[in-house]
Amino acid sequence: MKIAMWSGPRNLSTAMMYAFGNRSDFAAWDEPFYASYLKRTCIDHPMRDEIVATHDADPVSVGAKCAGPVPDDKPHWYMKHMGIHMDDTPLEWAKECVNVHLIRHPARVIASYTAKRENPTLHDIGFAQQVEIFDRFPGPVIDSADIRENPERMLRRLCEAIDLDFDPAMLIWAAGPRTFDGVWAKHWYGAVHQSTGFAGTEGALPILEGQAAELCDAALPFYRKLAALKL
């Protein structure tokens, strides 16, 4: 089985990758199209030059690898994908994947994103792109808030939905980085590297003001479309 897990940034996506990557029957791949996205757009992201130099920046080559054999002689492969990386990117390989869609309320995404990078746009946070991906490659939708509230229940439900046996190894992992982390992990993954499992239930939604509040309002219709379908 190849799982294409689609999300936007700051969506619990790295913790989910660690959960699946902690299974002995899974290989994991961290945002394989990130380097090609940065090379194509020339967008100013942290560590841009190092990412492009370190990772495969040819989307055709990356897509061929996605369509190829699962690495490390594993039966299953978890691919962490960002919808924002896929503009003008060949996606034929995704037809052969189990496509899953991870969502998070935009207020939480925006509050988390702005702590690392100022003034995100609607394109930066990926809600519109994720709906486009879902419309083309539908599949189970799972909300990060539900996972954090009860990780075992939600991961069991997800595994059942995709006809995969649940493995308790998905709930607890060792602290620290992973061999499958992208080179950008040292900038973005500090909290996950300190974790040994999913964080607890989130509190009240953050209060946003000004441009951040306007961005949240723009993203909410896309979030609500997918949230209506969540497990």
CATH number of the domain that residue 154 is part of: 3.40.50.300
Domain limits for position 100: 2-227
Burial of 121 (0-12, 13-18, 19+ CB in 10 A): exposed
Contact call for residues 58 and 36 (beta carbons, < 8 A):
yes
Is the pTM here over 0.75, yes or no?
Answer: yes
In angstroms, rounded to a whole number, what is the distance separating the alpha carbons of residues 54 and 184?
10
Contact call for residues 142 and 46 (beta carbons, < 8 A):
no
pLDDT tens digits for 1-34? 999 999 998 899 999 999 999 999 999 999 999 9
CA-closest candidate to residue 63, choices 99, 31, 93, 36: 93
pLDDT tens digits for 43-98? 888 899 999 999 999 999 999 999 999 999 999 999 999 999 998 788 999 999 99
Q: How many domains does the chain have?
A: 1
